[in-house]
Structure 1
Amino acid sequence: MNQTPTPVSEYAAIDRTIQHYIDGARTGSGQTMAHAFHADATIFGYIGSDLFAGPIQKLFEWNDANGPSSDLAARITSLDVVGTTAVARLEIENWTGHRFTDFFTLLKVEGDWKITNKVFHLHA
């Protein structure tokens, strides 16, 4: 088992990546949000009983259509990093009136952390 601790700078870099996502949600800008994601990223979750799944572009389009959420509150509640991989949990409240729990898998690609997959739960 690898006992080498992850440098604090890696956690900070992941925080910055996830902040692009949060900033995009607050401003209603899929383009801003896109900076957090790998071009081949995917999304999965349910909106009611309907599966919302596919290329991450679907999220950007949904975000653009829903507009800004200036009162959005978000917090990373867990972050686990091993080498060039990471898993993060993000709690979001008041995203256009909704509450979400997001789980992200991230990969360090060419020196930058990128979200490769988003799985979410939309709270009732």
Structure 2
Amino acid sequence: MKNTILSILFVFSLNLISAQSQSGTTDIQEISETLMLYIDGTQNGKPEKLKKAFHPDFNLYTVTEEDSLRIRSGAKYVSNVREGKISNRIGRIISIDYENDAAIAKVEILVPNRIYTDYFLLLKYEGSWKIVHKSYTWKPTKN
């Protein structure tokens, strides 16, 4: 029994080791860091952090009140973040799922009277994770 448990632990530890990148961080940690660049960049007026998080050609997608698709330029979105302008936003990572070099993530952003839910598609290329797509929705907060 003891040998069986040790064997299972050994196999599990090999899986953890293989999930680490060359720098010693795991993909989950790297994805989280990319998402935190987005959260911190929008919350604290740091467009350079957004530029690190997003692929230059990313777009944002949502559904309008008229039930049509709205597509916004990611470059325009980043340009609207003013350097040093702190906003009243609180963000948190809800979930991350990845396989190899593709990931999806869910983030919630609390602003006065609303909660935004952001869904991200991330890809790992040239050694780092980048957000390549953002779809979002919102709902009023319960006061």
- Please state which band the TM-score falls in when normalised by the shorter chain: 0.7 to 0.9
Is the Cα contact below 8 Å between 1:79 and 1:86 reproduced in 2? yes
In 2: Cα distance, 1:97 partner to 1:27 partner: 19
* Residue type of the alignment partner of 2:74: I
Q: Normalising by the residue count of structure 1, what TM-score does the alignment of the two structures yield?
A: 0.80
| Runs of 4+ deviating beyond 6 Å | none
Flag the 1:25–1:41 CA change in 2: closer, same or farther, 3 A.
same
What's the offset of the Cα at 1:99? 2.1
> Which residues in structure 2 correspond to 1:1-124 (within 5 Å)?
7=19, 9-46=26-63, 48-49=65-66, 51-64=69-82, 67-69=85-87, 71-94=88-111, 98-124=114-140
Q: Deviations over 1:3-42 (max 9, x none)?
A: x778261000000001110111111233321210111111
In 2: Cα distance, 1:116 partner to 1:19 partner: 15
Higher RCO (CA < 8 A, seq sep 6+): 1
- Using the aligned pairs only, state the percent identity: 29
In 2: Cα distance, 1:79 partner to 1:20 partner: 15
* Residue type of the alignment partner of 2:48: Q
List gaps (5 residues or longer) in structure 2: 1-14, 21-25
Q: Normalising by the residue count of structure 2, what TM-score does the alignment of the two structures yield?
A: 0.70
Q: Deviations over 1:60-97 (max 9, x none)?
A: 133339x422x522221111100000000001102x66
Q: RMSD in angstroms over aligned alpha carbons?
A: 2.5
List gaps (5 residues or longer) in structure 1: none
Number of aligned residue pairs: give it.
118
